[in-house]
């Protein structure tokens, strides 16, 4: 189960890197782009969240601020500017996206998925999932299985 989560995180990182860092040129060759400071910062935030959530290490604003070499106050401003969200909302959205991926691609119980994505209780993931997705994790799993 941990291997599944790490694989998903690795694939997300590769996908983000390919979207952010290169594009196909006219002759089909890959052309590197200069990243704007905003794109670099977004990439670093997303890399930090993917890494921290995948390893179940403490996901705290102070840790992200250290990683970005900013103060917590500056980090909060950056997140508001770049994402229009607070740190806790961004963390919740990343956790729920990881949970959605696991629910689609894994047979683990909702309780196990909650643990894998960093929720302390299954009721926490159910409440947050319903708030952000509009349905429970079980309903989402059934819905996504019907779509395939």
Give the sign of the dihedral formed by CA 90, CA 93, CA 97, CA 99. Answer: positive
Highest mean pLDDT among 22-36, 80-94, 95-109: 80-94
> Pick the residue with more confidence: 132 or 37?
132
Q: Which residue has the tokens 């508001």?
A: 80
**Burial class, 8, CB count within 10 angstroms (exposed 0-12 / middle 13-18 / buried 19+):** buried
Question: pLDDT-derived band of residue 129, with 50, 70 and 90 as boundaries?
Answer: very high
What is the arithmetic mean of pLDDT over 115-130?
Answer: 90
| Residues 38-83 pLDDT 10s | 878 888 898 888 888 766 666 899 999 998 999 999 999 999 999 9
pTM of the predicted structure, to 2 decimals = 0.73
pLDDT score of 26: 45
Phi and psi at 69, nearest 5°, equal 60, 45
Supply 53's token pair.
């959530």
Supply 24's token pair.
């196909």
Phi and psi at 32, nearest 5°, equal -80, 140
CA distances from 117 to 71, 99, 122 (A): 26, 6, 11
Average pLDDT, the chain: 81
Give the sign of the dihedral formed by CA 119, CA 120, CA 126, CA 128. Answer: negative
DSSP assignment, residue 53? Answer: H
Cα separation of 63 and 15, whole Å? 24
> Pick the residue with more confidence: 29 or 128?
128
């Amino acid at each position: 189960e941990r291997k599944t989560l790490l694989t998903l995180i690795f694939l997300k990182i590769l996908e983000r890197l390919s979207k952010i860092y290169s594009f196909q040129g006219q002759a089909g060759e890959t052309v590197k782009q200069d990243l704007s400071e905003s794109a670099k910062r977004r990439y670093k935030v997303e890399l930090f969240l993917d890494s921290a959530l995948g390893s179940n290490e403490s996901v705290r604003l102070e840790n992200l601020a250290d990683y970005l070499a900013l103060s917590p106050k500056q980090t909060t401003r950056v997140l508001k500017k770049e994402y229009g969200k607070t740190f806790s909302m961004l963390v919740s959205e990343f956790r729920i996206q990881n949970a959605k991926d696991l629910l689609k691609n894994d047979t683990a119980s909702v309780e196990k998925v909650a643990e894998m994505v960093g929720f302390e209780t299954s009721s926490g993931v159910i409440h947050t999932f319903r708030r952000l997705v509009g349905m429970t994790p079980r309903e989402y799993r059934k819905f996504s299985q019907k779509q395939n």
